[in-house]
Amino acid sequence: MTFDMPRKLPPYVNVQRSGRHVYYYFRRGKGKRTPLPDPRADDFIVKYQAALAASGEPTRKIITAGTLEWLIARYRETAIYASFSKATRKQRDNIFRGIMARAGDKPYRNISRQSIIAGRDDRAATPAQARNFLDAMRGLFRWALEAGHVSADPTAGVRNPPRPKGPGFQIWSEAEVDAYRATWALGTSERVWLEVLIGTGARRGDAVILGRQHLRDGMIAVETQKEGVWAYVPVLDTMQEAIEKGPTGDLTFIVGKTGRNFTKESFGNAFRAACRAAGVQKSAHGLRKYAATAYAEAGLSDGELESIFGWVRGSAMAAHYSKNAERKRMAEGAAEKIRNTLRPNAAGARPNAKKTARKISELIGLEKPMVRSRRLELPRVAPQRPQRCASTNSATTARRRLPVRPARRV
């Protein structure tokens, strides 16, 4: 089996050409030359490691061409991989690190569809990790197929695990927000965390980098890490007050006890601890849902929600919150109509309110209908027969008396 020539030779490996022949040798500094086989040969790594150890250099790990680790290393050098957001690259680097620890020395051409399915099923307990694993492997082998390293994509046709049913991250309630504010007063870093998350509706990765450098004319402008879309958020009074009371950092609003900024992961742990101290069993992403729900119920359009929360234009997320807010408004309007119906003496009640109230009372399980008014009756009007038009009637009669001529045979 032959593999592509590595783009970069290992340290201290030199090349000497003589006509059509190419020779490889190991030489460190001015030391002696040690002949080496072709880097694509199976015994190259063994002889290279031996020459490296003989020279006194600590043994280094060399990536063998044709292995899965080699393929991942080439993939990470591509423009496709560089185009991913910083958060996506970091996530996939962690996934690839785990894959290389388990199967990095295996030939990548031996990776089959069954191997991908087995990797997905190994992560069945955490469906989100299973989907991230598939996304990473799809990107790797789609590039490998396009680059000609493989003849078939082993990830083709492999389905994502079903998403768990449920609302996902739980949204905060008003009582929980009040409980958190009662526990962490203004002037504490924990209070700044809450007000920044509510005021901006930002994800953790974006919230930890927000600072005064993002302020523009009373607005916060930031490019989201996940979508790469610019978000423009008005600074609310509660957030402005919390920032003024502090503590904040020089470049970030959210800082820890020592005044240093957080990473996304460390901030998630610190904020979770602050929530537990306040008796709240929710997460930072639940505040993003809380803010989106509040803005949608205030009547913001889908485009306005997308601008504030950094969603891609036409995203289903903005429509999701708008539809929920509209359903709530419609339910409140329906509830008011039902209350008016159950109070037939109220101004504007319809004449058939008593009958409607009795039906509603039976539906909601009341023993007696909530009707206290007298029977309301409309004046009855005798129906009038429509008068016939004499001219029209006589013309119709005349047409009926005309003889019918038989059809002429042709």
* Domain CATH for 198: 1.10.443.10
Q: Is residue 294 part of a domain?
A: yes
In 210-261, beta strands by DSSP E: 215-216, 219-223, 230-234
Cβ partners under 8 Å of residue 14, min gap 6: 24, 25, 26, 27, 33
* Same-domain check for residues 298 and 210: yes
Q: Is residue 179 part of a domain?
A: yes
* Same-domain check for residues 251 and 296: yes
Cβ partners under 8 Å of residue 377, min gap 6: 351
* Same-domain check for residues 219 and 138: no
Q: Is residue 338 part of a domain?
A: no
pTM over 0.85? The answer is: no
- Please tell me the predicted confidence (pLDDT) of residue 1: 43
Q: Is residue 152 part of a domain?
A: no
Alpha helices in 161-283 (DSSP H): 174-183, 189-200, 204-207, 237-245, 264-277
The top-scoring range by mean pLDDT among 54-68, 154-168, 276-290 is 276-290
- Could you list the residue range(s) of the whole structural domain that residue 230 is in? 174-319
* Same-domain check for residues 295 and 209: yes
* Same-domain check for residues 197 and 313: yes
Q: Is residue 239 part of a domain?
A: yes
Query: Structurally, how many domains does the chain consist of?
Result: 2
- Please tell me the predicted confidence (pLDDT) of residue 360: 58
What totals of helices (H) and strands (E) does the chain contain, helices first? 16, 6
The lowest-confidence range among 13-17, 336-340, 404-408 is 404-408
Between 228 and 354, where is the model more confident?
A: 228
pLDDT-derived band at 320, boundaries 50, 70, 90 = confident
Q: What percent of the chain has pLDDT over 70?
A: 79
* Same-domain check for residues 99 and 181: no
Q: Which residues are paired to 222 by β-bridges?
A: 231
The identity of residue 148, as a single letter, is: G
Between 125 and 359, where is the model more confident?
A: 125
Q: Is residue 404 part of a domain?
A: no
Q: What is the pLDDT of residues 251-302, one digit of tens each?
A: 999 999 888 889 888 999 999 999 999 999 999 999 999 999 999 888 888 8
Report whether 163 contacts 124 (CB < 8 A): no
* Same-domain check for residues 183 and 301: yes
* Same-domain check for residues 187 and 228: yes
- Please tell me the predicted confidence (pLDDT) of residue 6: 52
Query: What is d(CA 99, CA 17) in angstroms, rounded to the nearest whole number?
Result: 38
* Same-domain check for residues 127 and 221: no
Q: Is residue 75 part of a domain?
A: yes
* Same-domain check for residues 130 and 266: no
* Same-domain check for residues 87 and 140: yes
* Same-domain check for residues 206 and 94: no
- Please tell me the predicted confidence (pLDDT) of residue 273: 94
- For 288, how many CA atoms within 13 A lie in the half-sphere containing its CB? 18
Q: Choose one of 275, 304, 319: the last residue of a domain.
A: 319
- Please tell me the predicted confidence (pLDDT) of residue 162: 86
- For 79, how many CA atoms within 13 A lie in the half-sphere containing its CB? 1
